[in-house]
Amino acid sequence: MFALFAPDVEYGPPPPLHPDGLLHGRAAVLGFWRGVLASYDENTIENLSLEEASPGRIVRRARLRHRSLATGEALDYVVVQSTELEAGRVIRQVNVLDRAR
């Protein structure tokens, strides 16, 4: 999946996992998600909706769940994810919490 990201992608992770703003570059995004997988034993993504908002822009609503067996920490939230594509690559993807859920 990360091969679809442009080398210089701008990425806004889900706020419950990373409240500090954008990451820059495919390597940073891959490192971020490797860290999430190392911190949580169970991770699921449930797609709730997907639409082409305009040519080259996709908007998805998704429910994410993360649970650590070691600490008992659990996160369950819904994001609205906006993805911008150029030449078949993700150039920008931003996740914001869906407060309407």
For 48, the token pair is 């709730």
Angstrom distance (rounded) from CA 11 to CA 13: 6
Cβ contact 93:81 at 8 Å:
yes
CATH of the domain at 31: 3.10.450.50
Give the residue numbers spanning the domain of 89. 2-97
Q: Give the pTM.
A: 0.92
Q: Which tens digit of pLDDT belongs to each residue from 62-84? A: 999 999 999 999 999 999 999 99
Q: How many domains does the chain have?
A: 1
* pLDDT confidence bin for 2, thresholds 50/70/90: confident
Predicted confidence (pLDDT) at residue 100 exceeds the cutoff of 90: no
